[in-house]
């Protein structure tokens, strides 16, 4: 059956697509002229500032009120600096410093970078309260484990970012911080009563709403007491009753990527996920990273079919499209430029460094980086001390494939500095560190989410609260190993 042109345009106005490459393909531009709300950019779309500026100019030429979104959180999740690592520390470091003015200033700097690149919607900040040490997807993306601390920094981040004219999107409602599974790969469950959710997870979202956040992103998590058997993204009780009515949010509700298994599998496909999300109260559908014209048309057709068969009311679709248009209009207001300080992020990262023990007697060490994986949200971004070292030798090893004897032999009389992320999580990593610390002069640099675990015998334990370029520089300086700039 032919698609009604008016309904098709409405359906397109609720979607954020994406594309591969450093320039926009024909279909991506054409769909913008036909009503598509916008595109999300990923690391694969970003090479350097001049190229990125040309790309965003190209998109805006096709549609002046296009929404150009990106995940630029600073810290471990960066798209602008995915080739080098972010020049800003992430939320965990900012929460550790606990200076809301600093958080506001850092996010204003991030916003300035985005505005200069022609990007007007930042899918940040993450305002989840990270209460699970082994959370595989949030971790250092969170300001911390204390709801009130996270709330005050959520407000500061939103205020700083939006002062630059870039719309903020607080995520992931109603709170992804207590999960121990990744919603990219499955549907996590947070089985707590609503009273716990309200006390632990919701205060940061309430603070973001009060600060005027233009958008809030849904989480593909199941909270049985609130969402029943499905994810919050498909739950009217979560998105309409709790977020709109109880929290008073009037902005745009954006879905997390619908290609994620926590949504697509639960719904039986991306198109069906789109209809369920819109019906629940979502306004802007983030399709994901692997998008082409055929997928956008398929999602559009399913939305139109949903209107025809009664799964989705026309008025709900119109409301969503209007909210998205209003946010796009908000981003086009004239905003005075915010001065940027290139050293700001590095200074902030230094303030977050925490040292337990002593860094004395660590002169001329062997630096050993313990290879670790990365989450889908982070992607492959360089991390560690190597770019900052003053000639000090570094090797990179996989803990499970490395014997402590081989590292001790290589180090000889030199102390060993072990650099890792989430070192407490893997038995092989803990065993390697503990064995070396019992026999050798050892310091540990933890660049992931810290836990209570500390290796007995280690001379020092240094926590950076993140693995950005700025965090790595701060750690190298603390150890006295940084090359002079």
Torsion of CA 220, 221, 224, 230, to 10 degrees: 30
Residues contacting residue 334 through CB under 8 Å, at least 6 positions apart? none
Task: Confirm whether 256 is a catalytic residue.
Answer: yes
Q: Are 210 and 164 in contact (CB under 8 A)?
A: no
Strand 285-286 to 252-254 pairing:
unpaired
Task: Confirm whether 172 is a catalytic residue.
Answer: no
- Backbone phi and psi for residue 173, each to the nearest 5 degrees, phi listed first: -70, 135
Residue in 76, 128, 256, 283 annotated catalytic? 256
Long-range residue pairs from 373-377, CB within 8 A, at least 24 positions apart, any chain: 375/136, 375/137, 375/182, 375/184, 376/137, 376/182, 376/184, 376/185, 377/71, 377/77, 377/137, 377/141, 377/184
Residue in 39, 172, 176, 184 annotated catalytic? 184
Q: Are 111 and 160 in contact (CB under 8 A)?
A: yes
Please identify every residue annotated as catalytic.
184, 256
């Amino acid at each position: 059956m032919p698609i009604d042109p008016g309904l098709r345009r409405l359906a397109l106005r609720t979607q954020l697509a994406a594309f591969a490459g450093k320039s926009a393909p024909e279909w991506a531009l054409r769909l913008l002229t036909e009503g598509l709300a916008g595109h999300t950019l990923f690391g694969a779309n970003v090479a350097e500032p001049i190229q990125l500026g040309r790309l965003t100019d190209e998109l805006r030429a096709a549609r002046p009120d296009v929404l150009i979104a990106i995940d630029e959180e600073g810290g471990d999740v960066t798209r602008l600096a995915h080739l080098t690592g972010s020049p800003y520390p992430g939320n965990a470091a900012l929460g550790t410093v606990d200076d809301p003015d600093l958080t506001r200033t850092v996010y204003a700097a991030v916003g300035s970078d985005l505005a200069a690149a022609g990007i007007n919607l930042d899918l940040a900040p993450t305002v989840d309260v990270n209460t699970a040490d082994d959370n595989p997807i949030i971790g250092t993306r969170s300001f911390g484990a204390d709801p009130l601390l996270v709330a005050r920094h959520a407000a500061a981040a939103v205020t700083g970012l939006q002062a630059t004219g870039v719309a903020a999107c607080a995520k992931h409602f109603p709170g992804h911080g207590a999960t121990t599974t990744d919603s990219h790969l499955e549907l996590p469950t947070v089985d707590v009563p609503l009273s716990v959710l309200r006390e632990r997870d919701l205060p940061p979202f309430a603070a973001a709403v009060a600060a005027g956040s233009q958008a809030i992103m849904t989480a593909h998590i199941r909270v049985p007491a609130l969402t029943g058997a499905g994810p919050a993204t498909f739950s009217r009780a979560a998105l309409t009753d709790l977020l709109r009515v109880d929290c008073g949010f009037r902005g745009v509700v954006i879905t997390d990527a619908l290609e994620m298994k926590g949504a697509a599998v639960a719904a039986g496909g991306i198109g069906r996920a789109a209809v369920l999300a819109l019906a629940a109260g979502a306004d802007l559908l983030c399709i994901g990273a692997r998008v082409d014209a055929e997928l956008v048309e398929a999602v559009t057709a399913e939305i139109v079919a949903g209107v025809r068969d009664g799964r989705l009311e026309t008025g709900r679709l119109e409301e969503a499209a209007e909210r998205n248009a209003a946010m796009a209009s908000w981003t086009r207001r004239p905003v005075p430029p915010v001065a940027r300080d290139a050293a700001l992020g590095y200074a902030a990262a230094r303030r977050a460094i925490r040292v337990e023990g002593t860094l004395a007697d660590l002169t001329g060490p062997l630096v050993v980086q313990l290879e670790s994986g990365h989450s889908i949200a982070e992607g492959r971004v360089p991390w560690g001390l190597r770019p900052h070292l003053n000639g000090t030798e570094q090797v990179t090893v996989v803990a499970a494939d490395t014997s402590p004897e081989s590292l001790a032999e290589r180090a000889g009389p030199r102390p060993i500095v072990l650099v890792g992320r989430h070192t407490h999580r893997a038995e092989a990593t803990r065993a390697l560190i503990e064995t070396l610390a019992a026999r050798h002069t050892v310091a540990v640099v933890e660049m992931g989410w810290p836990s209570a675990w500390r290796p007995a015998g280690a001379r020092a334990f240094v926590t950076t609260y993140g693995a950005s370029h700025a965090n790595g520089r701060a750690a190298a300086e603390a150890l006295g190993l940084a090359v002079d700039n």
